[in-house]
A and B are shown apart, each in its own frame.
Chain A
Amino acid sequence: MSAETGGGRDFLSNLGKIYGIYTGGFAAFVILLGILEQVGVPERIIGFLFVALTLAIYAGIGILTRTMQVSEYYVAGRSVPAFYNGMATAADWMSGASFLAMAGTLYALGYDGLAFVLGWTGGYILVAVLIAPYLRKFGAYTVPDFLAARYGGNFARLLGIVVLMAASFVYVVAQIRGTGLIAERFLGIPYDVGVFVGIAGILLCSMLGGMRAVTWTQVAQYIVLIIAYLIPVIIMSAQRTGVPIPQVMYGEALQAITQLEQTKPALEGAKPHLTPYSTYAQFDFFALIFCLMVGTASLPHVLMRYFTTPSVREARQSVGWSLLFIFLLYFTAPAYAAFVKWEIYENVIGQPLTSLPDWVYVWGENARVNICGVAAASLEAIQTACSTAVEGGTDIVLRDQFSITRDVVVIATPEIAGLPFVITGLVGAGGLAAALSTADGLLLAMANALSHDIYYKMLDPNAPTKRRLVVARIILFGVAIAGALTATIAPPDILKLVAWAFSLAAAGNFPALMLGIWWKRCNTPGAIAGIMAGFGATLAYLIWTAAPPLGLGNPEIMSVANISAAVFGLPIGFVVMIVVSLITPAPSKEMQDMVDEVRRPRGGVVQAEKT
C-alpha cells in the first residue's frame, strides 16, 4: 500500500498489483477468521473483527489518498481508468438495499420483481449512449454545472440543485440507516450509536480526499461486496445441484418451486413464482421498468462518476464496465431468490412445528422470521401462537402463517446452507460495503453541489482554492451530520421515500440533460419551464397518492403506482420543454457552437476550471 502515499502516477500505474494484493489479503483475512471460529473464538468477536477491519481499510485508503487540489477533490484529477471507474460506479450504484433486499424482493414477488432487475441495469444503456460521454466532454464538476452553462446561468443551476438534493437526501438517509443496522448487529452497539460509527467511516473516506478518495475506496468496497454476495449462493448451488454456478443451475430450483406450488397442500394459494403480473398490472410493470431506467440515467451521484475518466472514449468504455460489474450481482439475485424459496417451500412450509430447521429460530429471535403472527423465537412461542392463529389450531407451518423479512434472504443464506458464522460475517461486511459506498457517493454529490455550485459559483466566485476546499469539507461534514440525525429521529416510514428518488431525478434531470445535448434548439426558457413542470408534476403525484403521513393518500390515477410517478412527469417535462423552446427565440450562435463542441470528442474540456 505504500505506493499510494507516493501520490498520483506511482499509484495509478500499479493499480492491478495494489488491488490484487488487497483482494488476496481480504481472502486471507476471511480464512483466518474462519480458522479462529473453528478454534472457538465467539461469533461476536468474529463479527466485530469483520466490521472493524473493513472500516479501517476504507478509512486508511481515504487518508492515503487525501488531496489539496481542487480537480483531485471534485473529479479525481480526471485520471481514473475506465475499468476501475466501472468498479467504483458499481459500488456507488448498488446500495445496501440492492445488496440485502433485491433477492428478497424477487423471493416475495416472483416474476414481477424482475422489473427492478431490468430497470436497474437497462438504464446504463441510456447513460452510455445519450449522456455520460457528452457531460465528460463538457468538463463539469457537477450536474448543475452543466445545466447552468447550457441554460443561461444560476437559475437553471439552482433548479439542478433542488432536483439533486431531492433525489439524494432521503437516499443517503436510507444508506446511513443500513450502516447503523449492520453495526448494531455485528458490533453489538445500540442503533443510534451505530449510525454515528457508520457516518464516521463514511467521513473518513470522503472528507480528506473528496472524489479521489471516494473512488479508490469504492473500488475496494466493490471487491468486498461482490465476493460476499457470490460466495453463499455458490456454495448453496453446489450443495443443491452439485454444480457451483448458481446463475446457470437455479433452473432446477425454479422447477422444484413450481412443482411444490402445485402439489404441496400447505402451499395452496401461493403466488406462482414464474407467472407474470401477480403483483403489478402489466402496464405498471413496464412503467416501473421505464422509470427506474430513466432514473438511473438521471441520478447525479452516478453521472458524476463519469466526470473522472481521462477521456471521452474512456467515459464510454467505463459505462460498459459499470454495467458488467453491476450485472454480476443482479443476474445472481434471481438465483438467490430461487434457492432460498426452494429451501423454504421444501423444509419449512408444511413441516411440523417441532421439526423446523435451526436457522428459522436464529432469525426468528429478532422477528425477521414470523410464524403464526409472532416472532419465531422458540418452539413454545410458535406452538402457543399457532394453536389459536387458525381455526382449530395447526401443528404444521402454513403458507400464510409464515413470513420472512425481505432483507434477510441474502444474509440468512449462509445459515440456511449450514455454513459457519464466518460466512454470515462476510455477508454483513458486504452489506456494509454496499451501504457505505453508496452513502459516500451521495454525500459527495450533495456536498459538491452546495460547495461548488452554491458557494463558489453563486456566492463567492473569487474564493481562493484553499478556502474552497475548506468550505467543501465543512459542508460535507454538515450534510453527513444532517443525514445521520435524520436517520436516528425519522420514522422507518421515511425509507419509502427512497423509491421516489428515481422518479424525481428522471423527471427533473433527464429531459434537460438529453435535449441539452441532442437538440440545439432547446433554450433557456424551455428548459426552465420543462424542469419545473416535469419535476413539479412528479412531486405532486407522489404527494397526492402516497399514504399519510407522507402524502394525501388519494387513489392512484390510471392505477399508476406511486413509485412510477415519472410516467406522468417525464412526458410533461418533455412536452413543456419542447413547446416553450419553440415559441421562444432560438439559443445564441455561441450557445449552439458550445453544443457542437460538447458533441465532438476532440479538443479539451469545454468549460475549463482554474485549479
Chain B
Amino acid sequence: MSNGNDEAYWSKTKGLMYVCIAVWVFFGYIIHLFVDAMNQIVIFNFPLGFWMGAQGSLIAFVVLIFWFSSRPDAIDREFGVAED
C-alpha cells in the first residue's frame, strides 16, 4: 500500500491544515486584538469590533469549515486515496 505518493499526499494535506489553522487563528484571536480600533467604525448600527466577536468571526468559521470540507476530497482523488 505504501508508496512515494504517500509523502506528497500527506504534505499536501498538511498544507491545507496549516492554511485552515492560520485562518482560524486570525478570526479566533488576532482580529479581536483590534477591537477598540474597530469599534470606531459603525456599520448599520453595529460597532465593528463587537460585531466581529458576536457574529463576524462565527460567519468566518462557518465559511471556512465548508470550504475546508470540500478540499481534502480533491487531494484524495489526485493521489488515488479517495474512498471510492
Question: Do A and B interact?
Answer: yes
Chain A residues within CB distance 8 Å of chain B: 111, 114, 117-118, 121-122, 124-126, 128-130, 133, 247-248, 251-252, 254-255, 274, 276, 285-286, 289-290, 293, 311-313, 316-317, 319-320, 323-324, 327, 330-331, 334, 518, 593, 596-597, 599-603
Q: Which residues of B contact A312 (CB under 8 A)?
A: 83
A243 to chain B, nearest CB (A): 12
Question: Is B59 an interface position by the 8 A CB rule?
Answer: yes
Task: List, in ascending order, chain A residues with CB within 8 A of B66's CB.
Answer: 320, 324
Chain B interfacial residues counted at CB < 8 A: 46
- Name the B residues within 8 Å of A255 (CB-CB): 45
Q: What residue of chain B has the Cβ atom nearest to residue A255's Cβ?
A: B45
Q: With A247-B55, A593-B1 given, name 13 new contacts (CB 8 A).
A: A122-B28, A128-B68, A128-B69, A129-B68, A251-B51, A289-B29, A311-B83, A312-B83, A323-B62, A334-B54, A600-B76, A600-B81, A602-B83
Q: A289-B29, A323-B65, A602-B82 are in contact. Are A330 and B36 (CB under 8 A)?
A: no
A286 to B57, CA, bound (A): 14
- Which of A122, A286, A601 is close to B83, meaning CB atoms less than 8 Å apart? A601
CA distance A599 to B47 in the complex (A): 43
Indicate if the CB atoms of B9 and A600 lie closer than 8 Å.
Answer: yes
State the CA gap A601–B75 with chains docked (Å).
Answer: 11
Q: Chain A residue with minimal CB distance to B24?
A: A125
Q: Which residues of B contact A (CB under 8 A)?
A: 1-2, 6, 9-10, 13-14, 16-17, 20-21, 24, 27-29, 32, 35-36, 39, 44-47, 49-51, 53-55, 57-59, 61-62, 64-66, 68-69, 72-73, 76, 80-83
Q: With A and B bound together, what is the CA distance between A518 and B25 in angstroms?
A: 19
* Assembly CA distance A330 to B55 (angstroms): 8
Contact call B10/A599, Cβ cutoff below 8 A: yes
Q: Which residues of B contact A121 (CB under 8 A)?
A: 57-58, 61
Task: Report which of B2, B21, B55, B57 forms a contact with A596, defined as CB distance below 8 A.
Answer: B2
In the complex, which residues of chain A have a beta carbon less than 8 angstroms from the beta carbon of B53? 111, 114, 117-118
Task: Among B27, B45, B50, B69, point to the contact of A122 (Cβ < 8 A).
Answer: B27
Across-interface contacts of A130 in B (CB, < 8 A): 17
- List, in ascending order, chain A residues with CB within 8 A of B73's CB: 313
Beta-carbon contact of B65 and A254 below 8 Å: no
Q: Tell me the minimal C-beta distance from A192 to chain B in angstroms.
A: 39
Contact B58 A125 (CB under 8 A): no
> Chain A nearest CB: distance from B54 CB in Å?
4
B23 CB → nearest A CB, Å: 8
A128 with B65: CB separation less than 8 A: yes
User: What would be 9 A-B contacts, judged by CB atoms less than 8 Å apart?
Assistant: A114-B53, A117-B58, A122-B27, A124-B65, A129-B21, A324-B62, A327-B59, A601-B82, A602-B82
With contacts A128-B69, A599-B10 known, is A122 near B61, CB below 8 A? yes
With CB as the reference atom, state the residue of chain A lying closest to B20.
A129
**Set of chain A residues within 8 Å of B6, measured between Cβ atoms:** 596, 600
A251-B65 contact given A312-B83, A331-B54, A334-B54, CB 8 Å threshold: no
10 nearest A-B residue pairs (beta carbon): A251-B45, A114-B53, A334-B54, A251-B46, A316-B69, A600-B81, A602-B81, A125-B24, A320-B65, A122-B28
CA–CA, A293 and B20, complex, Å: 15
Q: Given the complex of chains A and B, what is the CA–CA distance between A110 and B83 in angstroms? A: 47
Q: How far is the CA of A599 from the CA of B58 in the complex (A)?
A: 28
- List of A residues within 8 angstroms of B9 by Cβ: 600
For A129, the chain B residues whose CB sits under 8 A away are: 16-17, 20-21, 24, 68
Is B10 a contact of A593 with CB atoms below 8 Å? no
A274 CA / B55 CA spacing, docked (Å): 14
**Cα-based distance from A308 to B62 in the complex (angstroms):** 22
Specify which chain A residues have a CB less than 8 angstroms from the CB of B51 in the assembled complex.
251
Q: Which residue of the partner chain, among A293, A319, A596, A602, contacts B28 with CB atoms under 8 Å?
A: A293
Which residues of A lie under 8 Å from residue B21 when comparing CB positions?
Answer: 125, 129
Q: Which B residues are in CB contact (< 8 Å) with A254?
A: 45-47, 50
Checking A251, A317, A602 against B76 with a beta-carbon cut-off of 8 angstroms, the contacting residue is A602
Closest to B13 in A: A599
Least CB distance from A317 to B in Å reads 5
Q: Which of B2, B29, B45, B51 counts the most chain A CB atoms within 10 A? A: B45
A114 to chain B: which residues have CB within 8 Å? 50, 53-54
A118-B57, A255-B45 known; A319+B35 contact, CB < 8 A: no
In chain B, what residue has the closest Cβ to A256? Answer: B45
B55 pairs with A331, CB closer than 8 A: yes
- Give A496 to B9 CA distance when docked, in angstroms: 45
Name the A residues within 8 Å of B58 (CB-CB): 117-118, 121, 327, 330-331
* Among B14, B16, B53: residue with most chain A CB under 10 A: B53
Cα–Cα, bound, A147→B14 (Å)? 22
Q: Which residues of B contact A248 (CB under 8 A)?
A: 44
Q: Which residues of B contact A601 (CB under 8 A)?
A: 72, 76, 81-83
Chain B residues within an 8 Å CB radius of A276: 35-36, 49
Which residues of the partner chain B approach A286 to less than 8 Å between Cβ atoms?
29, 32
Output the nearest chain B residue to A318 by Cβ-Cβ distance.
Answer: B69
Do B45 and A252 touch (CB < 8 A)? yes
CB-CB nearest in chain A for B80: A602
How many angstroms from the CA of A506 to the CA of B9 in the assembled complex? Answer: 29
User: In the complex the two chains form, what is the Cα distance from A62 to B66 in whole Å?
Assistant: 31
Min Cβ gap B61→A in Å is 5
Q: A133-B72, A289-B28, A319-B65 are in contact. Are A117 and B49 (CB under 8 A)?
A: no
Cβ contact within 8 Å between B62 and A122: no
* Whole-angstrom distance between the Cβ of A282 and the nearest chain B Cβ: 8
Residue ID in chain B nearest A323 by CB atoms: B65
Are the C-beta atoms of A111 and B50 separated by less than 8 Å? yes
B15 to chain A: closest CB distance in Å? 12
Closest chain A residue to B64, Cβ basis: A125
Q: Tell me whether A274 and B39 are in contact (CB under 8 A).
A: yes
Q: Using Cβ atoms and an 8 Å threshold, which residues of chain A touch B13? A: 599
Task: With CB as the reference atom, state the residue of chain B lying closest to A274.
Answer: B50
Residues of A within 8 Å of B54, CB to CB, are: 114, 117, 331, 334
- For residue A271, give the distance in angstroms from its CB to the closest CB of chain B: 14
User: What residue in chain A is nearest B67 (Cβ atoms)?
Assistant: A320
Cβ-defined partner of A126 (8 Å) among B24, B29, B57: B24
Rounded to whole Å, the gap between the CB of B18 and the closest CB of chain A is 10
Cβ-defined contact, A251 with B72, below 8 A:
no
* A289–B32 CA distance with the chains assembled, in angstroms: 11
